Amino acid sequence: MRVAEYVRFDAMGLAELVARGEVTPAELEAAAREAAQVVNPRINAVVETWPADDGPRPGSAPLAGVPFLIKDIGVAMAGRRMELGSRLAAGHVARADSSLMRRFRRAGLVTFGRTATPEMAYSNTTEPVLYGATRNPWDLRRSAGGSSGGAGAAVAAGVVPIAHATDAAGSIRIPAACNGLFGLKPTRGRVSMGPYADEIFNGLGVHGSVSRTVRDSAALLDQIRGPEPGDPYFAQEPSRPYAEEVTRHPGSLRIGVLTHAWGGRRTAASVADALARTVRLLESLGHQVEEAEVGLGADWEDFVLASARQWTANLAASVDELAAALDRPVDSSTLEPPVLAGYHYGRRVSGTEFVTALEIRNRVARSLARYFDAYDMLLTPTLPELPVPLGTHAEGAETLDGLGWLRRLFDLSPFTAAFNVAGTPAMSVPVTADTETGLPIGMQFAAGYGLEGRLFRLAGQLEQASPWSGRTPTVWAGNHTGR
């Protein structure tokens, strides 16, 4: 299969070709590798590839034969490196598959590499010292987002149709918005973190994907959802497969809109214009859309402080564990300034401060839950501005402590983290683009706990009303005229 043909299909389309015997998994893998060779030197999204192992027989699994990439954090693949984008973990090799990796295998995915992440996934732009900056395929001067920036750039550029991603404060939705993709953060407890962790960052972190089509994300979530023994959270199983929800009519939804974020962060004019166009589209589809005043349940500065304490205490524990396991020092030779500052800040967080931070989490979760009684969904811009230029986000980071760095992260992405705290599902949909630059602009929709099906129904409707998969970035494997 030629690359130019390969990139015309989404994951479900490729799986259908395999099931019908029109193409083999080996041919798809060869096309994906060629696509990576073409675009990766320009975007630096894939940090390693390897020979794919034998998966299920063609047709025996829903996504059999589909090329796939995993993020360099959060999922362990036996015998493969998982370095967390960090010099501290450089060369670390996983001894066994994590629960999620086993589910990827059962789905039939052909995993042949890993994607870039910022160090410890601790940034919303992907520019680690270990492997260098990942560039946005729409504009190579700009960030591809983070922390799943490598996944976002690889999918947007056509290397794979869908890739693994994680999200503890927006790390699925931010790269989706930056790269013109669909990305849904599932409900807390929807996808197991086992067996090596019961939860990530006290339930803030979840697994998911970024994709070019809604049905791909729905199909993959169907394959990876569900608890494992010992999981601390449980999300009720959906009444029907998510893949079926994508084609169902969502009905007339009541949608509350937040134009400007908590904490006073103003939305750029270009993004506010895109939001207004999205509102008009929703109204044309029969939805009831109105401005909403949504209380966070805590003062913004208290929210940021609690998040900093929760994040950095978890970070410090992870760093200490890695350093001990690999016999490496915790200093500037192994960690970048923001992570090192977070480590030292987290080491000073007291038990009382940590418990107080969890109490803030509880207040935010319960406050937001009330608004999902009043509205079927909440709508915000995913990001308040266009993707930032590379090299700007970490300027002066060496002068910041752990709280200062979290404040910077939340200033860049003030709409996303609250839904991680609440544990509710949220998605970024590339409904529109900037009228001046053509850069994609993501819109975030959030729903109540366990209601991914409602989000998929609306996403499917929006995809039909305002198709985006035909838009391609400047760096696109489909432009390759090779074999």
Active site residue 185: no
- Residue 430 in this model has a pLDDT that exceeds 70: yes
Pairwise CA distance, residues 188 & 83, whole Å: 25
| pLDDT for residue 149 is more than 70 | yes
Among residues 123, 147, 148, 428, which one is catalytic? 147
Q: Which of 71, 86, 123, 209 is catalytic?
A: 71
Tokens (6 digits) for 312 = 């950095």
Position 196 scores a pLDDT of 87
Nearest CA to 220 out of 443, 421, 405, 64 is that of 64
Hey, CA dihedral for 336, 342, 344, 347, is it positive or negative?
Answer: negative
Q: Among 171, 217, 307, 428, which one carries the catalytic annotation?
A: 171
CATH code (residue 155) = 3.90.1300.10
Task: Please tell me the predicted confidence (pLDDT) of residue 480.
Answer: 78
Q: What angle do CA 322, 326, 327 make, to 5 degrees?
A: 105
Give the pLDDT of residue 482.
65
**Burial (CB count <10 Å: 0-12, 13-18, 19+), residue 272:** middle
Confidence of residue 234 (pLDDT cuts 50, 70, 90): confident
DSSP readout, 23-51?
S-HHHHHHHHHHHHHHHHHHH--EEEE-P
Domain of 126 in residue numbering reads as 3-479
Q: What is residue 28's predicted lDDT score, i.e. its pLDDT? A: 98
Instruction: For 103-146, list the strands marked E by DSSP.
Output: 110-115, 135-136, 139-143
Rg (Cα) of the chain, in Å, rounded? 21
Instruction: Determine how many CB atoms are found less than 10 A away from the CB of residue 239.
Output: 8
Residue 71 catalytic?
yes
Share of the chain above pLDDT 90, in %: 95
Q: What's the helix, strand, coil split of the chain in %, to 5?
A: 40, 15, 45
Provide the domain count of the chain: 1
pLDDT, tens digit, 9 for 90 and up, residues 79-104: 999 999 999 999 999 999 999 999 99
Residue 392, phi then psi, degrees to nearest 5 = -95, -30
Contact assessment for residue 117 and residue 150, using Cβ atoms and an 8 Å cutoff = yes
Q: What is the pLDDT of residues 2-61, one digit of tens each?
A: 999 999 999 999 999 999 999 999 999 999 999 999 999 999 999 999 998 755 555 578
Is the distance from CB of 432 to CB of 177 less than 8 angstroms? Answer: no
Q: What is the pLDDT of residue 55?
A: 55
Q: How many Å apart are CA 218 and CA 211, to the nearest integer?
A: 10
pLDDT at site 258: 97
Q: What is the pLDDT of residues 358-391, one digit of tens each?
A: 999 999 999 999 999 999 999 999 999 999 999 9
> What average pLDDT does this structure show over 181-208?
95
